Amino acid sequence: MEKYIYINDRPVLWEDEKNILALARKAHIEIPTFCYHSELSLYGACRLCMVEVEGRGLVTSCSTEPFEGMRIKTHTRQILKLRKTIVEMLLANHDQECPKCSRADDCKLRDVSNRLGIDKVRFRKTRERKPKDLGSECLVRDPNKCVLCGDCVRFCDEIQGIGAIDFAARGQNVNVAAAYGKSLAQVDCVNCGQCAAVCPTGAIVVKSHIPQVWDAIHSGEKYVVAQIAPAVRVALGEMFKLPSGELATGKMIAALRILGFKKVFDTAFSADLTVVEEANEFVSRKSKGEKLPIFTSCCPAWVKYAEQSYPQLLGNLSSCRSPQQMFGAIAKERLPQQLGVEKEKLYVVSIMPCTAKKYECKRPEFSHDGIADVDVVLTTQELGRMIKEAGIDLNDLEPESMDLPMGFATGAGVIFGNSGGVSEAVLRYAADKFDIPVPENIVLQEVRGSSGLREASLADGNLKMAVVHGLKNAQILCDKIVSGEAEYDIVEVMACPGGCTGGAGQPIVHNKAQRKARTTSLYHADKTMPLHRAQDNPFINELYETLLEKPNSHQAHELLHTAYKHRKRIDDDELSLSGAGAEDRCKVRVCVGTSCYLRGSQDILAKTLQMVEENAWGKHFDIGATFCSETCDKGPTISIGDQTIHHATLPQIREMISKAAGTRE
Amino acid sequence: MPDLNKIRESYNAARELCKKRVVVCAGTGCIANGSLQVFESLKNAVALRGLEITVSLKSDDTSAHKAHDVYMIGSGCQGFCQVGPLVTIEPAGILYGHVKPEDIEEIVEKSIINDDLIERLLYHDPVSGKAYKGNAEIPFYTRQSRTGLKECGHVDPENISEYIAHGGYFSAEAAYTRYSSQDLCKLYKESGLRGRGGGGFSTGLKWEFALKEDNEKKYVVCNGDEGDPGAFMDRSILEGNPHSVIEGMMIAARAIGADEGYVYVRMEYPLACTRIRKAIQVAEDCGILGDDIFGSGKKFRINVMEGAGAFVCGEETALLSSIEGKRGMPNPKPPFPAQKGLFGKPTVINNVETLALVPVVMQQGVDKFRSLGTPKSPGTKTFALTGHVANTGLIEVPFGTTIREIVFEIGGGVLDKDGKINNDAFKAVQIGGPSGGCLTREHLDIPLDFDSLGAIGAMVGSGGMVVMNDSTCMVETARYFMTFTQHESCGKCVPCREGTRQMLEMLEDVVNGDGTEETLELLQEAGEAVKITSLCGLGKSAPNPVLSTLRYFRDEYEAHVKAKYCPTRACKALTPISIDPQTCRGCTLCKRVCPVGAISGEVKQAHVIDPLVCIKCGACVSTCKFKAIS
Amino acid sequence: MSATYAAAHSFNKVMEILDRFERSETKIIPILQAVQEEYRYLPQEVMTFIATSLGVSPARLYGVATFYSHFSLEPKGKHIIKMCDGTACHVRGSSAVIDAIRKRLNLTAKKITTDDMMYTFETVSCLGACGLAPVLVVDDAIHGQVTPEQALDAIEKIEAEERENA
């Protein structure tokens, strides 16, 4: 039996909608809201979505389940008045610098306020201005524009499983903050930027690097080249009123050339290179049966997350740099000679769907002698803004093509932009080695799809894969892998929903359909390309012949691989118990993470302190407790000076401390 | 399995062997006034005289079965804190107030060894000066109908035997051995018992909702986060009769099928925390709480959680978040806690006073319980009577009692600004704490219950009742309450976070003389928006003090914004300019410079300023040569 | 007790507290209460330590700690004076007492601890001792029906004790 609900006296079919708000959307009525997000938990704080239910009075539509025969009014005189009052209350403390705000075109507060016809704010500003957080390479937080809807907080916690930001304080003073009010740069933020993507206002935005790029272009000295990530081409058009997912590669290249880029290359080219390197690394590990599963390492948000949270899995991460950094390394190695430009003058700009790439390019290991492999990263949005700034009408441009050789890619590199794409590309490369039949259309359906965790068992169970997106899903999976509950050979992790197409550098996503259109378009792009397997890319093969010798060679390692290190979640936070800050003292650090603790590290720490105390050696030591790695199996781990002792015992430590004290006495 | 009858008989037998029973109030109020020293001194003085004394009469204590001259206990709050420390001597029924250590010798000599009264320590009526012997005579007590509070201040809160001897835990036993869950829900629905913590929802119905949920794990939570300033009945019950709360929780647990409970107590109540913790421990030790309650095979255990200082945690969903270790922010309902509560399990939350009444209802039976109160609000309710009233303290009266009876009779009348009893000085009474409304003289005869109060813009709330005399400015009072709710807003939903702040700013404008008629209009509009749209009950009720004063004291607001005049002269910025008649020489200069003709007076006579006309331009002040105007 | 030993002692206490509450995320509030009891406030590095031990994000712990007024992220003075500003106390003149104490200790509504770390003065919500309004709590001892003069006397008494101990 079909069930109906009456919205403004018109029947609406009620299928499986969980709340009135979703049902109203189906009936083409957009009820204003800030804090309702279909992928996040219910919050119910903005109170804008109130509707009138016959017999029940005003209820919030986000939290109210429909019932059969329910009669709803969505815009009574009272409702409109209340909504206006609430928005006025928000505007009173909102920093209304709209013309200067990068979210001006896509601000929900501005939109709702306009729709409600607010022409005057009768309330006054009651809060002092708070400083912006400018510390992060990727994101800028401006608390003066925050409406405290909590979308960012819930995304970071529920989808990404990080909780780098949360609400702090109470009442008037409530604010969204990183731990201890620190900058995002100093905490466990992985720079995925999804907080900015879900923010309804300009309270969290992507940090702009447009000025640096204009400077380089206008300097006259720099030779500015671009690399464009696969996901950019299926989203940029949205900023120019093209339908979601429409492929705009050619027009985009033309626009970049007009802007002043000397060469335009494709990150999909270096993605092909990544496939070759990573697949070979995997095959080698698989044959030796070591360090499995191999985790992909293209996503810089995931890499930072793993460094913070899964130090014990760092050895399993593929040592391959991401396509962006492989491109940068090859570009700075080869282009100066090929183009006849001094290395210092070559300026590599990445156009990425991603905010974390801004952080990645600044990692110290990707700079040599003061020259970064990638100089600056622009997001899709920033590129769109530059195009607009220059007054270029993207729609009217004649499509152009990428420059060779680094502009030539196969479909394998292109599908990197989708969740599952890296896995599929690696499979296409390695299919022969595992006797996996590759279908005519080269589509490996097993790893495609949109669910947060997808698993595939190939080659008669000899090859087990998992594809996850969203770091919370990664967390669940990693915990299972660590505990031995799950076993895989390859695990692909992308931090953003849907992979790079859903990156936070892309134009703001308003619904799932939009994200899906991009994904479909990217797969379609692969289909229309002449080549689909990385090993078929002639320019890649040429690169091996002329520069890299063979996959995973010494030279390849120098240029294309990297290493990872354990990071603390919060900068400079160690529990110092005595003598902190004195540089010349012998530094003693005792791990008190769960595993070391269970093995008696606390007792060692207490007795060590006691010993130092009794012997009045306090002046020689700086003793502290730390978490070196949560579940390391070598505990108790203790470091004294520059020595690290695993399986430490009390007598052993006593002796070493005495010795250290002796030399200093 | 504990045999309640045996404990009761044994205790009573021991009790009968004691000649005198001396009760020293050891509630927070009396302790602050030095009652613990009084207790010690009394004990020592009695012992010095070679009298046999016991301080903990236990039923299983064979030594207790010998004759004692004096049985001494420290009780919970007796409600009459103002007169503390309180000492009661039974069986004579003597109540002494303001007892100091130096009074002890005389008390022992005259009233313990003998049966004489010490006139000066008795309670004297503040108006007539008449002395009263004890509770049985003092109007503050005789006008009350103590039900939930009955044992409070009478039993030793740390002695479970005494609680059992007074009929305690028999209801729990019945609930676990003779009733089904359905029967219990039905019984409490029929009793009409409504939640005493605020909303007044039917307790039995609430239980029934939770009972209907099919889940192996369910919780009973006792809300002791009594945050309303001016209300302290929950504290008194937890301190004075913690076992009644435990018993109430046991019955609730049996009714819904829960096996675990939490008592959430404010951290500002350390004594209440200690007492309830001890009581739970003792009940477990006796086998009353545990894995096989009264042989029913049912399990129930109680945890105590101390709040960490957030008023909003009194809201049930916020309280649950707090127990879960989260920020105490309310969540949208539905889902209701009865469906999805603590840790996602069906949960019943009742406040302390409600739970303390639960065993009483069963003891008395539905008919007797319903014989007091009104048909829709049966039973009694405790109010915390404070403010400008002669007798402050906790009082328990049947629903339907009028404010007049409470303030003028039990409260002993209104104190005027000089501290004298003068019922003409009555101006308003704020009922239900910061979420309640201000009521006026015209409401004095309305029978108080959940529905009547709701209809006039107030609420029973937690039962705070603050009496205000005519020196109180209602705008300033509204501002005070707004400061409180604004400060305690959790900050989650927009209307409460932003709206209460805007309202406070507007009220500040009004008391500072910066308000206009538009301010009042916007204040009303903002108040209504906050009331209608806030997420939780606290936000929805936050504007009540403002809206009710706007309704009943509109003229006072208008005086502030139109005449820039505070009729009670409480608002400093709006205290009118006046001429000191002693200094004024009657030179008429001021009269001539006044641009609005507010000054009148004959030559060589003291002049006066009409504050309603005066615009406080200050022209007269600077003109006066004799500095008579300020 | 030297600083080294004190720090180690406190640290052992933190470990004990974590164990007592089974390192359970749901026991965050009692854990923070117990830790604050030990340190008299919540030092940042101890908070990070607790967060890591409980497997919650430091931001979440920070959010909880800053929500409840009982928790302090700043060290408090040696003597803690609290004035109840509940309705009954307010109506019976707590403001005058508050003003007097603030003036005496040179404190404001925002600055609640004296520079010499000797006193912290805070107003608290209703203590439920309304019958004794206005109520002042000096180092856990309740003073009922206080006047500004009595409040200042109470401070003088502490001063005198401190001088004696010095």
Condensed to tens digits (0 to 9), the pLDDT of residues B160-174 reads 999 999 999 999 999
Closest CA to A87 of A30, A29, A129, A48: A48
Which position has the higher pLDDT, A163 or A632?
A163
Q: What is the pLDDT confidence band of residue A627, given thresholds at 50, 70 and 90?
A: low
Nearest CA in chain C to A161: C57
Write out chain C residues lying below 8 Å of B395, CB-based. Answer: none
Type of residue found at A559: L
Q: Is the pLDDT of residue C3 over 80?
A: no
Where does residue B290 rank: exposed (0-12), middle (13-18), buried (19+ CB within 10 A)? middle
pLDDT tens column, B251-300: 999 999 999 999 999 988 888 999 999 999 999 999 999 999 999 999 99
Interface of C with A in 54-73 (CB under 8 A): 56-63, 66-67, 69, 73
Closest CA to A302 of A291, A313, A286: A313
C3 touches chain A (CB under 8 A): yes
Q: What is the pLDDT confidence band of residue B26, given thresholds at 50, 70 and 90?
A: confident
Q: Is A278 one of the annotated active-site residues of the chain?
A: yes
Q: Is the pLDDT of residue A631 over 50?
A: no
Give the span between the Cα atoms of B506 and A122, in whole angstroms: 11
DSSP structural state of residue B280: H
Phi-psi category of residue B491: left, alpha or beta, with phi > 0 → left and psi -120 to 50 → alpha: left
Check A52, A238, A277, A281 and give the catalytic one.
A281
Helices B242-256 and B170-177: crossing angle in degrees, nearest 10, is: 10
Write the ipTM.
0.88
For an interface test with C, give the residue of B466, B470, B486, B497 to mutate (most C CBs within 10 A): B466
pLDDT of A41 = 92
pLDDT of A117 = 96
- Given an 8 Å threshold on Cβ–Cβ distance, is C125 in contact with B325? no
- Given an 8 Å threshold on Cβ–Cβ distance, is C4 in contact with A163? no
pLDDT of B63 = 53
Cβ neighbours for B327, distance < 8 A, ≥ 6 positions apart:
A167, A170, B321, B490, C63, C64, C67
Determine phi and psi for B349, rounding to 5 degrees: -115, 120
Give the span between the Cα atoms of B577 and B615, in whole angstroms: 9
Average pLDDT, chain B: 90
Write out chain B residues lying below 8 Å of C85, CB-based. Answer: 229
User: To which H or E segment does residue A379 belong?
Assistant: strand A376-379
- Each domain of chain A, given as residue ranges in start order, spans 3-75, 88-206, 214-560, 575-664
pLDDT of C133 = 81
Measured in whole angstroms, the distance separating CA B293 from the mean position of its chain's CA atoms is 33
Tell me if A380 sits within 8 A of A530, measured CB to CB: no
Give the span between the Cα atoms of A125 and B145, in whole angstroms: 51
Q: Is the pLDDT of residue A7 over 50?
A: yes
Rg of chain C taking only CA atoms, in angstroms: 18
CA angle centred on A37, ends A35 and A38, rounded to 5°: 150
Give the strand order in the sheet containing C119-124: C119-124, C79-84, C136-138, C141-143
Nearest CA in chain A to B505: A126
- Least confident window among A381-395, B170-184, B445-459: B445-459
Q: Is the pLDDT of residue B321 over 80?
A: yes
Give the span between the Cα atoms of B352 and A488, in whole angstroms: 54
Strand partners, B568: none
Give the span between the Cα atoms of A325 and A332, in whole angstroms: 10
A58 touches chain B (CB under 8 A): yes
- Which pair of tokens denotes residue A575? 């529990």
Q: Which chains touch A (3 or more CB pairs under 8 A)?
A: B, C
Give the span between the Cα atoms of A49 and A59, in whole angstroms: 8
Strand partners, B431: B437, B465
Q: Is A500 one of the annotated active-site residues of the chain?
A: yes
- Which pair of tokens denotes residue B381? 């309710």
Give the span between the Cα atoms of A177 and A150, in whole angstroms: 11
Q: How many CB atoms lie within 10 A of CB A83?
A: 23
- Which pair of tokens denotes residue B486? 């604004």
Average pLDDT, chain A: 91
Long-range contacts of A20-28 (CB under 8 A, 24+ apart): A20/A51, A20/A53, A20/A59, A20/A61, A20/A62, A20/A64, A20/A65, A20/A66, A20/A70, A20/A72, A21/A49, A21/A61, A21/A62, A23/A66, A24/A51, A24/A61, A24/A72, A24/A74
Closest CA to B55 of B168, B159, B167: B159
pLDDT of A517 = 95
Annotate B520-542 with DSSP letters as a single string.
Answer: HHHHHHHHHHHHHH-SSHHHHHT
Cβ neighbours for A440, distance < 8 A, ≥ 6 positions apart:
none
- Least confident window among A239-253, B359-373, C5-19: C5-19
Instruction: Select the CATH number that applies to the domain covering A88-206 from these four: 3.40.50.720, 2.30.22.10, 3.40.309.10, 3.30.70.20.
Output: 3.30.70.20
CATH 3.10.20.740 assigned to A3-75: yes
Q: What is the pLDDT confidence band of residue A325, given thresholds at 50, 70 and 90?
A: very high
- Which pair of tokens denotes residue A91? 């505007």
Closest CA to B240 of B414, B71, B73, B112: B73
Strand partners, A379: A352
**Alpha helices, DSSP H, located in B287-372:** 316-323, 352-364, 366-371
Interface of C with A in 5-64 (CB under 8 A): 5, 7-8, 11-12, 15, 23, 44-49, 51-53, 56-63
Q: Residue A287 to residues A276, A293, A460, A512: CA-CA distances in angstroms?
A: 16, 12, 16, 40
Give the span between the Cα atoms of A161 and C17, in whole angstroms: 26
Give the span between the Cα atoms of A60 and B539, in whole angstroms: 15
- Least confident window among B597-606, C49-58, C124-133: C124-133
Q: Is A281 one of the annotated active-site residues of the chain?
A: yes
Q: Please, what are the domains in chain B?
A: 4-139 (3.40.30.10), 160-369 (3.40.50.11540), 380-472 (3.10.20.600), 475-572 (1.20.1440.230), 576-630 (3.30.70.20)
Give the span between the Cα atoms of B453 and B604, in whole angstroms: 55
Task: Give percent above pLDDT 70 in chain B.
Answer: 98
DSSP structural state of residue B241: -
pLDDT of A578 = 62
CA distance B140 to chain C (A): 14
pLDDT of B621 = 81
Task: Give percent above pLDDT 90 in chain B.
Answer: 54
Helix and strand tally (H, E) in chain A? 21, 24
Strands B599-600 and A223-228, sheet pairing: unpaired
CATH 3.30.2130.10 assigned to A575-664: no
pLDDT tens column, B376-385: 999 999 998 8
Rg of chain A taking only CA atoms, in angstroms: 27
Q: Is A101 one of the annotated active-site residues of the chain?
A: no
Type of residue found at A370: G
Q: Is the pLDDT of residue B564 over 60?
A: yes
- Least confident window among A209-218, A224-233, B539-548, B613-622: B613-622
pLDDT of B60 = 57
pLDDT of A548 = 92
Q: Is the pLDDT of residue C7 over 80?
A: no
Strand partners, A178: A165
For an interface test with C, give the residue of A165, A180, A591, A615 to mutate (most C CBs within 10 A): A180
Q: Residues of chain A whose C-beta is under 8 A from some C-beta in C?
A: 157, 162-170, 177-181, 187-188, 569-570, 573-579, 592-594, 597, 602, 605-606, 609-610, 612-613, 618, 623, 625, 627, 630
- Provide the whole-model pTM: 0.90
DSSP structural state of residue A192: -
Check A146, A149, A298, A299 and give the catalytic one.
A298
Q: Please, what are the domains in chain C?
A: 3-67 (1.10.10), 79-165 (3.40.30.10)
Q: Is the pLDDT of residue A656 over 60?
A: yes
For an interface test with C, give the residue of B31, B226, B232 to mutate (most C CBs within 10 A): B232
Where does residue A126 rank: exposed (0-12), middle (13-18), buried (19+ CB within 10 A)? middle
Give the span between the Cα atoms of A158 and A497, in whole angstroms: 12
Strands B464-469 and B380-387, sheet pairing: parallel
pLDDT tens column, B231-258: 888 989 999 999 999 999 999 999 999 9
Q: Is A382 one of the annotated active-site residues of the chain?
A: no
Identify which of A168, A593, A606 has the shortest CB distance to residue C8.
A606
Q: Is A357 one of the annotated active-site residues of the chain?
A: yes
If you count residue pairs, one on A and one on B, with CB atoms under 8 Å apart, how many are there? 96
Write out chain A residues lying below 8 Å of B482, CB-based. Answer: none
First to last CA, chain C: 17
Closest CA to A168 of A154, A160, A179: A179
Q: Is the pLDDT of residue A594 over 70?
A: no
Closest CA to A305 of A290, A294, A295, A320: A295
Nearest CA in chain B to C85: B229
**Alpha helices, DSSP H, located in A593-644:** 594-598, 601-614
Tell me if A222 sits within 8 A of A175, measured CB to CB: no
Q: Is A318 one of the annotated active-site residues of the chain?
A: yes
Task: Give percent above pLDDT 70 in chain C.
Answer: 95
Q: What is the pLDDT confidence band of residue C5, given thresholds at 50, 70 and 90?
A: low
Give the span between the Cα atoms of B199 and C77, in whole angstroms: 41
- Which pair of tokens denotes residue B458? 């107030």
Give the span between the Cα atoms of C46 and C34, in whole angstroms: 12
A120 touches chain B (CB under 8 A): no
Task: Note the CATH number of domain A214-560.
Answer: 3.40.50.1780
DSSP three-state, residue A40: coil
Q: Is A298 one of the annotated active-site residues of the chain?
A: yes
Tell me if B503 sits within 8 A of B523, measured CB to CB: yes
Strand partners, A458: A463
Q: How many CB atoms lie within 10 A of CB A84?
A: 17
- Which pair of tokens denotes residue A181? 């009010």
